[in-house]
Structure 1
Amino acid sequence: MRRIIGTTVALLLLTFSLSPSAAAGEVDVLGVAVNGEGTVARVTEEKTAQLAQGKDLHGQVVATPMEYRVELACPVLNAPQTDAACQRAVAGCQVNGQQIGSGFLYDIFARPRGSTQPWVNVGSTCFAAQVPGAAPTVTLAMLRDAMHNTPWATASISTQPVGDVTLVGLKTFYRVNWSSQGYEPGEVEAIDPARMLGRRVEIRPKVDHFTYVFGDGATFGPTRSPGGVYPNGDITHAYPQTGSYAVRVDTTFTADFRVDGGPWTVIPETVTVTGPVTTVTVKAARAVLVN
């Protein structure tokens, strides 16, 4: 299995430009892994493991003992679109829907041991746990587990006309209301550090989509609309006959995460929460003559 993964990784290099501090002399000393275009490359598990053997990423014995650290591969930490930039950390260790290594791409930084020289990016890896001296790293499996154990807020339905009573053929408006308990979109959950190797990990849920279930066999979705009220609400339904209907909205969540206050990065996972039922009563209108 290791041979297959290593070959796949080698064929699917993800690259970015070398730091300006990585002068030619530093590249020679630090053993920066570069691809054919001269940019820092993602390296295999075997090459990453060479660092613990006193070798560089090319397999050459280093003359100067080195120290290393790793960072989640978000190359533009202060850019307006930081979230988009950090997708490299997720996409870099996913091949054909399969996870490689920890599931997240980490940049490897090196410098001579005990020196105050600037850290130099020498490569990127999906196997950050193999980098000697690096702090423990959070894995995709850990985040998926935390996400599935998040107490999500539930979305219930309110209708207009008010009182959950409407008439046959009348356009009825639907709106999402969040429960007071649980985490709704935009709220931040701090995960117990004991579950995250001592790291401070936060999860921020967001809606991937809603699916509205009207109780008469009709549904609407997927959509990101939370609905609204008359006259501008965009989630509506008209019932063809009288009766009582079990109406609900199912919410499919995704989430972002960050480690130790770093940039937010999406978790490639979704969780669907079934909403509570609201009973909508549909009546027939009849004409009455009055004096």
Structure 2
Amino acid sequence: MLLTDWSRPVGGTGRWQRGGSSCRPTTTTAEQPLVLPTITVADVRRVGLPPSTAGLQPAGGDVVLNVPVNVYVQSAQVTRDVQVLGFPVTIRATPESFTWTFGDGGSLGPTTDPGAPYPAMSTTHTYTRPGTYPVTLTTTYSAEFSVAGLPFEPVDGTVDVASPTATLTAHAGTTVLTR
């Protein structure tokens, strides 16, 4: 509502003159706080995270009994930009640990060591019985989110993402020296 302040000239006689104006609300209301969205681990699952790439050496799916198989992960931080309740939200997910299952009852992890290609050999598994085995890798991600460019906040919980299963066949072999 626009309120106008009118005043009389000095001495109280004469014409009215405008003295000034100001804007004032007709009612007083409490200001509503701005509510920003919060991202949960279920939201991160819905947005989707990529599986890590599993590396197996020797390549090709055939391994020799009692010789370590080198396993390693190629994985990186993932960023997803989404809209939530009209706000721009950035979700940042970081691989925290890796769990391998080798199909023969053996497993490795969870471990924070992603391993590396040969000659690193820091993450290995040795088959002791001939057979064909499914090898699975599960990556555990932690996540954080930022609403409208504000500082990142952590998401409670973690998200596990399974990579496609690889198959290895373990063969008995004989060592032969050649020249």
TM interval, shorter chain, is 0.7 to 0.9
Determine if the alignment matches structure 1 residue 232 to structure 2 residue 124.
Answer: no
Q: Secondary structure at the match of 2:142?
A: strand
Give the SS at the match of 2:40. helix
> 2-side partners of 1:155 and 1:243: how far apart?
26
Q: Which amino acid in 2 is paired with 1:259?
A: V
Match of 1:209 in 2: 97
Partner of 1:136: 35
Are 1:186 and 2:85 counterparts?
A: no
- Counterpart for residue 6 of structure 1: none
* 1:218 and 2:101 are equivalent in the alignment: no
Pick from 116, 130, 153 the counterpart of residue 242 of structure 1: 130
TM-score w.r.t. the length of structure 1 is 0.48
Q: Which of 270, 277, 282 matches 2:158?
A: 270
Whether the 8 Å contact between 2:40 and 2:156 is mirrored in structure 1 is: no
Cα RMSD (Å) of the superposition? 2.4
Larger strand proportion of the pair: 2
Hey, what's the Cα distance between the residues in 1 that align with 2:45 and 2:177? 59
Cα distance change, pair 289–208 in 1 and its aligned pair in 2 (3 A): closer
- 1:50-74 CA-partner distances (Å, limit 9, x unpaired): xxxxxxxxxxxxxxxxxxxxxxxxx
**Residue pairs, 1:1-291, within 5 angstroms:** 132-139=31-38, 142-177=39-74, 185-192=76-83, 196-287=84-175
Which consecutive unaligned segments of at least 5 residues does structure 1 have?
A: 1-113, 115-130, 179-184
Instruction: Report the secondary structure of 1:152's partner residue.
Output: coil
Cα distance, 1:169 vs structure 2: 0.3
Moved over 4 A (4+): 287-291
> Shift in Å at residue 167 of structure 1?
0.5
In the aligned structure 1, how far is the partner of 2:178 from the partner of 2:101? 39
Distance 1:272 1:229 in 2: 23
Rg larger for: 2
Q: Which runs of 5+ in 2 are unaligned?
A: 1-23, 25-29
Task: Report 1 or 2 for greater relative contact order, CA contacts < 8 Å, sequence distance ≥ 6.
Answer: 2
In the TM superposition, residue 287 of structure 1 has moved relative to its aligned partner by 4.9
